[in-house]
Amino acid sequence: MTEISAFDDVLSVRVEEGIAHLTLTRPGKQNALNDLVIDALDRFFSKPGEDVRVAVLSGAGNHFSAGLDLGEHVERSAAETMHHSRNWHRVMDLIQFGGLPVVSALHGGVIGGGLELAAATHVRVAEPSAFFQLPEGRRGIFVGGGASVRIGRILGPDRLTEMMLTGRKYTADEALSLGLAHYRVGEGEALAKAEEMARRIAGNAQLSNHLIIQSLARIDDMSRTDGLFTESLAAALSVSSEDAREGLTAFLEKRSPRFR
């Protein structure tokens, strides 16, 4: 069964066989992110639906997302800017830690806020046309959607500093080697690969997916001792579930598991 909906004409959602296909639909604006887009992402990821097991995120037109919509930039005070940035952080956290695995298909510009959005997803597939950039320094501004943490964790602070100071663009091949992308495919193939990965992830036990998403990034923030203890808690939760019993039985019976 397929369900199709639209969020304020900036995000389309199609749900089919447990996979939500989300598309940024501002191709005339290179899918630049504004408050309407952030609000639409917020509304979807706050309540994706009980039948949704995985989401695939892509962009219509020639670019995934060119970043913050500077054409709609509103002059804000320091306090207003901080609140605006913190709302972006909340929505990006909802994408990363909401419990729903998200696979992104990347092509064209993955710039500024678009890269911050991609970095909040769990599996990233890039086409040769994809390029990755944080040009805020050249605009007289600073990142505000989580790049200093998420992209800093991927690249390290030294590479991130150089990237932001120079406005450097990373190609798809460079992004793959650095971890900004997990897969590099041929032109026009990112969405198909992302959907393939989504189907594979949807076949996992939902509790395992949830624990992977909720635990690993947080363990990275912890001391070694606390991280190992948290790992034990996650292991205990998973191994005592019905899905664990099904997974082990299926392995012994040499068949594919039938998770709930």
The residues annotated as belonging to the active site are: 116, 136
| Contact (CB, 8 A) for 101 and 48 | no
Rounded CA separation 221/10 (Å): 34
What own/partner pairs with CB < 8 Å and gap ≥ 24 does 150-156 have? 150/92, 150/96, 150/116, 150/119, 150/120, 151/115, 151/116, 151/119, 151/180, 153/220, 154/119, 154/178, 154/179, 154/180, 155/179, 155/180
Rounded CA separation 201/213 (Å): 12
Rounded CA separation 229/242 (Å): 23
Nearest Cα neighbor of 176 from 232, 112, 220, 110 is: 110
CB-CB neighbours of 249 under 10 Å: 12
For the chain, give the longest Cα–Cα distance.
63
> For tokens 């972006």, what's the residue?
88
CA of residue 10 relative to chain centroid, distance: 17
